[in-house]
Amino acid sequence: MSDGVYFVDTHRRIQYWNKGAEQISGYTGEEVVGRYCQDDILCHVDIDGKNLCREGCPLTECLADGKSHQSTVFLRHKKGGRVPVLVNVEPIRDAEGRITGAVEVFSDSTALHQTQRRTRELERLAFLDELTQFPNRRFLEMALSTSLAEYGVHHQPFGVMMLDLDRFKGVNDSHGHAAGDLVLQEAAKSMGGFVRPTDILGRWGGDEFVAIIRGIDMDSLLKMARRWTILVRETQVLGPNGNRISLSVSAGAAMVVEGDTVESLMKRADAAMYAAKQAKGAGRD
């Protein structure tokens, strides 16, 4: 099976771990079997960044109520990046109907597959950033121009997020440019897992990324920005020398208004991002 499958007993001790689980998570059966879910091996979090191994775990709920549970969560790959997965949990019962454990099946989420399909199309159109394989600045500027034109006719609201990696220059200085490239790639993949099918995320340049979020208001846009910063903060990158590099990102958001141009909209988003960076003392590389 390409899907990940594992069994746990009533104490959430892992009894079985298949090849699909190894491929999706990066952890082998030898590293996982015999350990407990509460050891937080995969550091499961939900869309709000809440650690599910401590609260709200689908496996725990299944063992408690004996019902099926389904959820979209984000696991942390052995190499440190975030992987969005769709989780299905079912109880395991003995001949008398008593719960003796649970089985979880998890697979890459639909959003990730949609992102991959979109990536293949963008590659055909030569609008990809070579390093991250996400949309490049040229594509983002075209998408912003299109969104502004649509707003002028139909007044469909949309927002823009400017995201900038914190202390990125220090990564290059301390670990080398190969590590810096890995950080950019993993940051793009982690953030890409949170993008809705109607949104666009791309690399604006350097260590800056831009997301175009359609059909949203300012409050929801700010909440989304906070979620992204929390989820990226849980990401780590395994550097070329085997050292782990923790990531964090600052985000600024701006909603389209009448009379906006690409330049004016991006200027407000950039100013908000810079203010967020200054507020936590990250500075700007």
Tracing tokens 């050891």 back to the chain, one arrives at 39
Tracing tokens 């823009």 back to the chain, one arrives at 160
Comparing CA positions, the residue from 26, 51, 47, 50 lying closest to residue 38 is 51
Catalytic residue among 207, 219, 260, 285: 207
Structural contact between residues 137 and 262, judged by C-beta atoms closer than 8 angstroms: no
CA separation for the pair 210, 68 (Å, rounded): 38
Structural contact between residues 134 and 188, judged by C-beta atoms closer than 8 angstroms: yes
* Crossing angle for the helix pair 137-154 and 262-279, to the nearest 10 degrees: 110
Structure tokens at 115: 């992102």
Q: In terms of DSSP H, where are the helices of 125-253?
A: 137-154, 168-175, 177-192, 218-233
List % helix, strand, coil for the chain (3-state, nearest 5): 40, 30, 30
CA separation for the pair 212, 188 (Å, rounded): 14
Question: Is 3 a known active-site residue?
Answer: no
Q: How many CA atoms lie within 13 A of 205 on its CB side?
A: 6
Q: Which helix (H) or strand (E) holds 268?
A: helix 262-279
CA separation for the pair 142, 200 (Å, rounded): 12
Task: Please identify every residue annotated as catalytic.
Answer: 207
